Amino acid sequence: MTTSRETPASVGELCAILRRCDGDGTKVTVVGGNTLRGMGFPPTGEELVLETSALKRIVSYSSADLTVAVQGGCTLKSLASRLKRDGQFVPFDAPKPGEATVGGTLAAGWLGPRRHRYGRPRDLIVGSSIVLADGTLAHAGGMVVKNVAGYDMSRLYVGSFGTLGVLVQANLKTIPLAQAARAFLAPLPEGTRSRAFAQVRTLAVEPSAALWIDGFEKEVPGEPGAEGRLFILLESSEALLERATRDLRSAIGRAGVPETRIIDARARDMLDGIIDAYISTLADRSVTYRVASPPDRSEACALGARDLVRRFALDADTIADIMNGDVVVRASRLETRDLSLKLQVLDDALHQAQPRARIIAGDHPSRGAFNVWGNDPPAIGRMRALKARFDPNAVLNPNRFIGGI
Amino acid sequence: MNASLAQRLADAVGPENVKTAPEDLAVYSFDAYSEGKLPAAVVIPSGTREVSAVVKIARELGEPVIARGAGTGLCGGAISVDGGGVVISFARMHRLLELDTANRRARVQPGLVNLQLSQQVASSRLFYAPDPASQRSSTIGGNIATNAGGPHCLSYGTTVNHVLALEVVDENGDVFTTDVDDAGYDLTAVLVGSEGTLGVVTSAWVRLLRSPESTRVWLAAFADIESASAAVSAIIGAGIIPTALEMMDAVIVKAVEAAFHAGYPTDAAAVLLIENAGFEDEMDAYEAALREITRKEGSLSWRAARTAAERDALWAGRKGAVGALGRVAPNYYTQDVTVPRSVLPKALRAVEVAASENDLVVGNVFHAGDGNLHPLLVYDKRDRRQVGAVLSTGDAILRAAIELGGTISGEHGIGYEKREAMTRVYSTEDLATMARVRDVFDPR
Ligand SMILES: Cc1cc2nc3c(=O)[nH]c(=O)nc-3n(C[C@H](O)[C@H](O)[C@H](O)COP(=O)(O)OP(=O)(O)OC[C@H]3O[C@@H](n4cnc5c(N)ncnc54)[C@H](O)[C@@H]3O)c2cc1C
């Protein structure tokens, strides 16, 4: 089978390509920046790779309205630099913003560590244009922030993994950047982790991001303590920053953590660096899972996942999102002997404990045999019906999503 | 009336929870928008299982199901338009089922009244953010079905941002659940705001927020509606997003003062009610910035509520505004459109022109920070000319909103009234795409 590649230069061209594929049954893999290629089942039997990278325009930006319309192939970074000039941003918080595209990030349903504060990407989308499998171009929503005209199609496309259509334009809410940003990095000595988790969760001025990092020593700067590291990002008005800093330092002090490094320059870039670690792989020798848990169980969830990985004689690198509760754990081994087998057993065991664990990174060749999305959700029947109604010939990203979609 | 329908419903939920007498049904034949016809029956189930049984019976006998919360809806969704059908009332399903304070969430039944949810969690220093002006009576189920908004949705987002998981009874009477953390499609997002067309919500996990440490409320008065709306655009344009930013014009201010003595300046052409919730440390700087902007836009006066009682009084005026107008006007009709915030002045001018061309009085009270207008057209429904004038003014406002890049409903919904108008903002393809979703949930 031969695979061809197309990079349509216009939405019209993209429509024509899909119309043709739908007609002759060509299977299409949709690709943005390819940064999240470790998510989902690997493409099998793809016949056309459809790249959105040429559709990268910022269609309209009205900073006074706090909205931006951007094409799906625009990278997160180029969008961010434009918005930054007007003191605004869209909190995607996705890895590799220089390559990742708006469309790909939304389609993958990427969830970042600041969402408890700024909302999930699905809560930032106010309108969309999508090309359906049959080449139809459909719009939803608009450029206003409150809209109940019709079903909320745009939100439905977020997280649909390119299986309902190709997102060619997203209209997004933008958010004014907080005046001040300050990062804190603290090594956690023996016996401080649990208290640190608890203290951070009770702060009056909530951090924008609070992560516990265990491992990922190459990827994340700073010396780890016996119980890993704590990374915190505060974002606030200038007037609030001093108090927020004081409160945070004394809370961490109460947890028994002696030293905290404060980083003011490029504090937000530091968060970006850690987010890159979420999907950093050891080529074909690692698999990374994301597990959702309620915030008050994030520590237990992280330790559970980490210990499970270690039980199968694999190395574990872990990040727990203290504010949102989700946990990222990377299982790896430099020694490749029996690695497939170990990872397979881990995959089973992890899903016993965490039915919703999903893979977000890892090029391991047997990934396709794993429970990539976690167990089927209760409404899987309706999801399959939706797919059948949107893409009856299963042209778009076939078999890459959950439950055979 | 179909005897076997009544009997079977009575068997399912108990005879005392089924109403079929015309005088009992009449209460359920209208909502805040319009009057429909009598349904075949009203049932008041006690839980999910009974809802499921009712839907199955209705389906077998070919009766449509109409979910009904408090009936404050403004889109005619909770009434029987053509007569017949089984209305499911959630009056008995009004409990807070679980409160998870550590993770700031609650599982609730659909009949729980919006304000009661916030009241019931207040002692845990939590609150439920979406606050439609109807929050004293409207239900969480109705709010979910309409994706209700409210003054505080400016900073917190509308209902859809606050729904974490749903339990739904589908068209066959089968129960299914959705969760925003489930893998696969975000069905929660489609169900919220679907106006009851995709299923009946029988319980929901909703997000709660921490009560703010400090809240301040201010009132800025303006000599004309243009400068007030320019101030709104300027505030948002400066990157300041207050917790709430509401506007009221002279017609509304006078009605509110007559009804509540809220302390609004009756000589102003428009007032902005601004709230910020946050931390004491930053409030003075915040107030200074807002004050400076409103001054530049020509405000006449600036008032800060000094006590909780003053704050409540200012808010009581806003929340009671529509009711207050109702006292002085025989009838009123609320239009609901959203425009980009930078064109608010233009949009308000268009409203003014449309009303005066049709010789109508219009009152404006709305979610200015979101660009969500609610022009209230005052009329007397016994006067045929005025009824016609309301229809053409409403339509002119819709047209103006669309021309300004806006939409035909910000929060009240489409229902029957705006079905036709959907074609003005969406193409045939756009609507056909939505129909694909509908097909999956309700193939009939
Ligand atoms: C004075 C006044 C002020 C208002 N202010 C606002 C405002 O600020 N913001 C705003 O958004 N709206 C506002 N509204 C409109 C209305 O209050 C909202 O739409 C509210 O969400 C309706 O809730 P309800 O319980 O009254 O629902 P109902 O009117 O009973 O029903 C509304 C719709 O929801 C469906 N429904 C109800 N329960 C369920 C369920 N369990 N499952 C599935 N579908 C269901 C019904 O079928 C119907 O389509 C206002 C109305 C009035 C009269």
Query: Of A265, A300, A317, which residue constitutes the final position of a domain?
Result: A265
Mean pLDDT by 10 residues, chain A (405 residues): 89 98 95 95 89 98 95 98 97 98 98 97 97 97 92 96 98 96 97 97 97 96 94 96 97 94 94 97 93 96 98 97 98 91 96 96 89 96 97 96 95
Residue whose Cα lies nearest atom 34 of ligand 1: it is: B142
Percent of the residues in chain B that have a pLDDT greater than 90, as a whole number: 84
Q: What is the pLDDT of residue A74?
A: 98
CA–CA distance, A304 with A11 (Å, rounded to integer): 46
Q: Do residues A243 and A142 share a domain?
A: no
Q: Do residues A227 and A310 share a domain?
A: no
Nearest-atom index, ligand 1, CA of B113: 25
Q: Is the CB of B90 under 6 A from ligand 1?
A: yes
User: What CATH number does residue A148 fall under?
Assistant: 3.30.465.10
Q: Is residue A40 part of a domain?
A: yes
CA–CA distance, B330 with A369 (Å, rounded to integer): 69
In the chain, the amino acid numbered A181 is A
- Mean predicted confidence (pLDDT) in B313-339: 89
Domain boundaries, chain B: 3-89, 96-210, 214-323, 329-425
- Mean predicted confidence (pLDDT) in B272-293: 96
Q: Do residues A289 and A395 share a domain?
A: no
Nearest-atom index, ligand 1, CA of B150: 8
pLDDT tens track for A48-105: 999 999 999 999 999 999 999 999 999 999 999 999 999 999 999 999 999 999 999 9
Q: Which CATH topology does B96-210 take?
A: 3.30.465
> What pairing do the DSSP bridges indicate for beta strands B214-222 and B299-304?
antiparallel
Three-state DSSP state, B103: coil
Whether pLDDT at B444 is above 70: no
Q: Are A233 and B274 in contact (CB under 8 A)?
A: no
Q: Do residues A261 and A389 share a domain?
A: no
Q: Do residues A42 and A121 share a domain?
A: yes
> What pairing do the DSSP bridges indicate for beta strands B65-68 and B126-127?
unpaired
Q: Is the CB of B72 under 6 A from ligand 1?
A: yes
Pocket test for ligand 1, best of B42, B136, B138, B159 (most atoms within 8 A of CB): B138
CA distances to A136, A214, A239 from A11, rounded to whole Å, are 11, 44, 46
Beta-carbon separation of A382 and B149 below 8 A: no
Residue whose Cα lies nearest atom 13 of ligand 1: it is: B132
Interface A:B, Cβ pairs < 8 A: 217
Q: What is the pLDDT of residue B443?
A: 66
Whether pLDDT at B89 is above 80: yes
Q: Are B142 and B66 in contact (CB under 8 A)?
A: no
In the chain, the amino acid numbered B336 is D
Q: Return the bridge partners of B19, or none.
A: B42
CA–CA distance, B152 with B169 (Å, rounded to integer): 30
More confident residue, B11 or A364: B11
Q: What is the dihedral of CA A245, A248, A251, A255, to 10 degrees?
A: -120
The domain total for chain A is: 3
More confident residue, B36 or B177: B177
CA distances to A100, A162, A168 from A74, rounded to whole Å, are 8, 16, 10
Q: Which residues contact A366 (CB under 8 A, 6 or more apart)?
A: A340, A343, A344
- Tell me the angle at which helices A238-254 and B280-296 cross, rounded to the nearest 10 degrees: 170
Nearest-atom index, ligand 1, CA of B149: 11
Domain extent for A357: 279-369
CA–CA distance, B435 with B170 (Å, rounded to integer): 17
HSE, side-chain direction, 13 A CA sphere, residue B387: 4
One CATH from 3.40.228.10, 3.40.190.10, 3.40.50.300, 3.30.70.2190 for B214-323: 3.30.70.2190
User: What CATH number does residue A199 fall under?
Assistant: 3.30.70.260
CA–CA distance, A10 with A168 (Å, rounded to integer): 10
Whether pLDDT at B1 is above 60: no
Q: Are A212 and A325 in contact (CB under 8 A)?
A: no
Q: Which CATH topology does B3-89 take?
A: 3.30.43
SS3 labels along B18-55: EECCHHHHHHHHECCCCECECCCEEECCCCHHHHHHHH
Q: Do residues A214 and A337 share a domain?
A: no
Distance B71 CA to ligand 1 centre (A): 6
Three-state DSSP state, B2: coil
Residue whose Cα lies nearest atom 1 of ligand 1: it is: B134
Q: Do residues A169 and A185 share a domain?
A: no
Q: Is residue A274 part of a domain?
A: no
The partner residue sitting opposite A239, judged by closest CB among B213, B282, B422, is B282
Distance B282 CA to ligand 1 centre (A): 36
CA distances to A37, A383, B428 from B178, rounded to whole Å, are 26, 11, 29
The partner residue sitting opposite B414, judged by closest CB among A63, A150, A383, is A150
Q: Is the CB of B68 under 6 A from ligand 1?
A: yes
Q: Do residues A105 and A60 share a domain?
A: yes
Q: What is the pLDDT of residue B155?
A: 94
Q: Suggest the residue from B203, B425, B433 to mutate for an interface test with chain A (most A CBs closer than 10 A).
A: B433
DSSP at A43: P
Backbone angles phi, psi at A6, to 5 degrees: -135, 140
Q: Return the bridge partners of A388, or none.
A: none
Rounded to the nearest angstrom, the minimum Cα separation between B186 and chain A is 5
Distance A86 CA to ligand 1 centre (A): 38
Q: Do residues A165 and A34 share a domain?
A: yes
Q: Do residues A231 and A301 share a domain?
A: no
Rounded to the nearest 5 degrees, what angle is found at the Cα of A135, between the Cα atoms of A399 and B189?
Answer: 65
pTM confidence score:
0.96
Q: Is the CB of B410 under 6 A from ligand 1?
A: no
Whether pLDDT at B182 is above 60: yes
In the chain, the amino acid numbered B76 is G
Rounded to the nearest angstrom, the minimum Cα separation between B130 and chain A is 13
> A224: exposed, middle or buried (C-beta count within 10 Å: 0-12, 13-18, 19+)?
middle
CATH topology agreement for domains B214-323 and B329-425:
yes
Q: Is the CB of B142 under 6 A from ligand 1?
A: yes
Backbone angles phi, psi at A38, to 5 degrees: -80, -5
Q: Which residues contact A123 (CB under 8 A, 6 or more apart)?
A: A155, B157, B160, B161
Beta-carbon separation of B371 and A144 below 8 A: yes
Domain B329-425 has what CATH class? Answer: alpha beta
Q: Is residue A102 part of a domain?
A: yes
Distance B128 CA to ligand 1 centre (A): 16
Q: What is the pLDDT of residue A1?
A: 57
Q: Which two tokens stand for residue B425?
A: 């903002």
> What pairing do the DSSP bridges indicate for beta strands B200-207 and B214-222?
unpaired
pLDDT tens track for B188-198: 999 999 998 89
Q: Do residues A156 and A290 share a domain?
A: no
Distance B284 CA to ligand 1 centre (A): 37
- Average pLDDT value for chain B: 94
Nearest-atom index, ligand 1, CA of B202: 41
ipTM of the complex: 0.96
Q: Do residues A29 and A90 share a domain?
A: yes
Distance B411 CA to ligand 1 centre (A): 9
Q: What is the pLDDT of residue B74?
A: 85
Q: Which residues contact B386 (CB under 8 A, 6 or more apart)?
A: B360, B379, B380
Q: Is residue A271 part of a domain?
A: no
